[in-house]
Amino acid sequence: MTDFSTRLFINGTFVEGEGKAETAYEPAFGKPLAEVPSASTGQIDQAVGAAHAAYKDWSKRAPRERSAALLAIADAIEAKVERLAEVESRNAGKPLRFARTGELANVADVFRFYGTAVRNMPAPAAGNYRGQGRTSLVRRDPIGVIAQIAPWNYPLLMAAWKIAPAIAAGNAVVIKPSELTPLSLLALSDIFAEILPAGVVNVVTGNGPDVGHALISHDLVRMISLTGDVRTGRAVLQAAAGPMIKRTHLELGGKAPVIVCVDADLDKLVETLREASFYNAGQDCTAACRIFAHLDVVQPLTDKLEAMIGSLVYGRPDRDDVEFGPVISARQQERVDGFVSRARAQGFDVIQGQAADPDGFFFAPTLVAAPIEAEIVQKEVFGPVLSITAFDNNQQALDWANASEYGLGSSVWSQKTDTAMEIANALEYGVTWINTHGVMATEMPHGGMKNSGYGSDLSMQSLIDYTQIRHLMLG
C-alpha cells in the first residue's frame, strides 16, 4: 500500500484540509508516510455545525436504528481488516499480526457491544415516589455535539472507545486523531461514509494547540472527551469552563504498580509481564511499568526478568516474530532514552535487551533497579522500560502505590486470596488486576482516579456517561 487518505471527513464528505500540513511518519523506518493538511478554523466550524444539524435527527432515531448502524460498522471493519490493519501498523508502528488479529478485532467488538447495549439502557423503575397522582420516570437523553481527542498509542481502538458509545447514545461527534497517527481513523471514515447519516461522525486533523483548542472551545460543543496527558487535561478543563459549561470525560495516563507479594507465582508473573509491560513498546497507560517486589523475592524475580528481557523479539512490524515495534517518534525515543540515561548516571542497575535497530524509532526493552524516590519509578516513561523496587512489607508497597499522582491501572500478585483482596480493595486505582495484568473486557468499565482522570471507557457505564439523566413527573 502506498496511498493513504489524508482528507478531512466533514458532513459525510471528504474535503482537503485548508490548514498547515502535518507529517505522518512510519516509525519503523523513521521516514514520512504522508503529508496531512490540518483543518482550518472555518472547517472546524463546518464540522461542528454539521454535527449539530445531524444530532437533531440522529438523536430522535429509535435505539434499534442506531443499533443497526453500529452493527453494520462492526461488520464492515471485519470485512476491511487487512487494509485497516496495514495502515495502523505502518503509521503507529504496531506489529501487523497484532493489529490484525488483536486490535482490529477489539475495534469491531466495541462497535458491536454498543450496538446491542443501546437497546438495554438501564434506569430506575417508574413509580409513584411522592404518592398517588404523581408518577415519576427517568429519561436518558443524548447530550449533543461531542468533541473527542484521540491519542496516538491506540489510534483506532481509542477512537472506537469514544465514537461507539457516543453515537449509540444519540450524540453526534467531531473527533480529532493525534497529528502523529491520523491515517487509520481517516481510513475508517470510509466506513462511516457508507453507513452513517452525514454529520453524525466528523473527523478533523491537526495539532492540539490550534485544531484541538478550536474544537473543544466551540460554542456548540456540549461535551469534551480526551485521552491524553495531564497537561492537556487541564487545558480541556479550562476550555470546558467557558461561557457554556461543557461536560468532560478524561483519561490522562498512568504509572501502574505491580505489587509482588512474598508468595507470588514468579513464573506466571514474568510470563504475564512479557506482554503487559512491553506490548506496544510499553506505550500504554496501564502498562505494568513499575514493580514493587517483596525483599525476599526481588533477586530471583530480577534474574527471571533479565532472562525474559534478553529473549524479547522486537523490530519491524511486518515481521511475524516480533513482540513489539518502535516507539512512535524520534522525540519519544529521545524522551525514553533520557529517563534511562539519567537512571544509569545515578548509578542504578540497568539491564537491556538486544541492541535497537538504528533505522527506526526503536528502543531496547529495559529493566532498571531503583529506589522509590527515583524519577524513573515516579514519572510516566511511556516506553519499553520496567523498574523494580524492593519493599519490606505489604503496607509499605500499598503506601507507595497510593502515593502516586496517577490512579489508572494496578495489579497484585499473591497466591493467598485474602491477602490479594485486602491490597486490591485498598488501592486507589480505577482498575486492579489480581494475578494478571492489562486484560480488558468490553463489558467492564475502564477509567481512572486522581490525575488519571474520570469517566469510564467501555461497558454500559461509558454509554451512560454520554447521556444526560432527566426526571419527568406526571401529576
251 included as an active-site residue:
yes
Instruction: Show the cell assigned to 415.
Output: 497466591
| Residue 234, C-beta contacts closer than 8 angstroms, at least 6 positions apart | none
User: Which member of 251, 306, 334, 443 is catalytic?
Assistant: 251
| Residue 412, C-beta contacts closer than 8 angstroms, at least 6 positions apart | 259, 261, 420, 423, 424, 427, 432, 433, 434, 435
Whole-angstrom Cα distance, residue 354 to residue 363? 9
Q: Which of 222, 226, 223 is nearest to 176 (CA)?
A: 226
Instruction: Show the cell assigned to 378.
Output: 515516579
| Residue 366, C-beta contacts closer than 8 angstroms, at least 6 positions apart | 309, 340, 350, 351, 352, 353, 383, 384, 385, 386
Instruction: Show the cell assigned to 344.
Output: 544509569
Tell me the pairing of strands 349-352 and 366-369: antiparallel
Instruction: Show the cell assigned to 333.
Output: 525515543
Start-to-end Cα distance in the chain: 64
Residues designated catalytic: 251
